[in-house]
Chain A
Amino acid sequence: MRRDVFQAIADPTRRAIIGLLALQAMTPNAIAENFDSTRQAISKHIKILNECQLIEQKQNGREIYYHFNPQKMKEVDLWMEQFRKLWETRFEQLDNLLENLKPKKS
């Protein structure tokens, strides 16, 4: 199944995990302690985030630590930003036109 960043951030738990990892790298257990969900559920979210490259795992001794990958998050910003720009340009053009179309006030 194809995964992308948009799918990753669609879920509130996954957004919360990103928020935690943005502050510091954490082990899967430490991440799970922050949630009421089961470890399996959290581990599934971690797997999706990892597949989308929003987080990366690094081995440190016997433990696996997850790190946030800010570069990947920028993709989301950039994409949405361009979509926004398209519409803003369009709407500004309409604003200018509406000035001329408006019934004149007496």
Chain B
Amino acid sequence: MEPVKDISGRAAPAPLPAGNRKKRAGQLVFHITTAGLAIILLYPVIWLIASSFKESASIFATSHSLIPDPLILSNYTEGWKGIAGQPFITFIKNSLIIVGLSTAGAVLSSAFIAYGFARIPFKGKAFWFSCMMVTMMLPHEVLMIPQYIIFAKLDWLNSFKPIVVPQFFGHAFFIFLMIQFIRTIPVELDEAAKIDGCSRLGIFFRIILPLIAPALATSAIFSFYWKWEELINPLLYLNKPELYPVSLALKLFLDTETASNWGAMFAMSVVSLVPVILVFFVFQKSIVQGISMSGLK
């Protein structure tokens, strides 16, 4: 956790006891309000987790309580058996394939493109740069229908290709973030390498890429989130349950919702959030930095 600077920047030399007490009281009010707010905000998530350990029949009868009584694990074993003839592990495997390929493609291609924009002067750069910024603001809906038609004509339906392949052509948000990062690296480093006989490709792989590792990590983390949670593209392109990622499998649980499978649906919802929350707590520093630096998301 990075230290937060006090507004005044320094502590008062020798606070009087009265002032001290006032400061204590202020601290107490701060902690009570913020902690209270945090509990209210996260209550639904805690409730979801608690409910996943309750019997399906009692989830809504005891919706005011966070304590499962009796505490059972059968929702997890039941949900893990899967849905539509597929074990849940299949959905996780599909999600991991989509996320892995998309992330590798998006991060690498974005780094390449960012280097071109940040370091190499060429004609028409401003034009292409503004094209890139525009794609960041373009509504997906405008592209969704023709893209669907194109991928259908290519016979790519019911494969991961329509979801994964476009990621290999750079992602505007990541490119922007990496450009910001590359600009903080002194150009003298590139020039020194050039004098030593390093080619552009060599400079990119040996100097730039290692130095922008934090931006690569941030991009990879965001790509992981977006692709793990993505619903609309899998919904459009995948119609066979054996190809479903976790997000679509959860939708399937919801579609076939009955009073007896609430528990399993809740349990698998929790399972789907575990990797996201885990990645978040492990990498929160680079996430916070990425957002603060680019001012985006």
Q: Is B a genuine binding partner of A? A: no
**Contact surface of B with A, Cβ cutoff 8 Å:** none
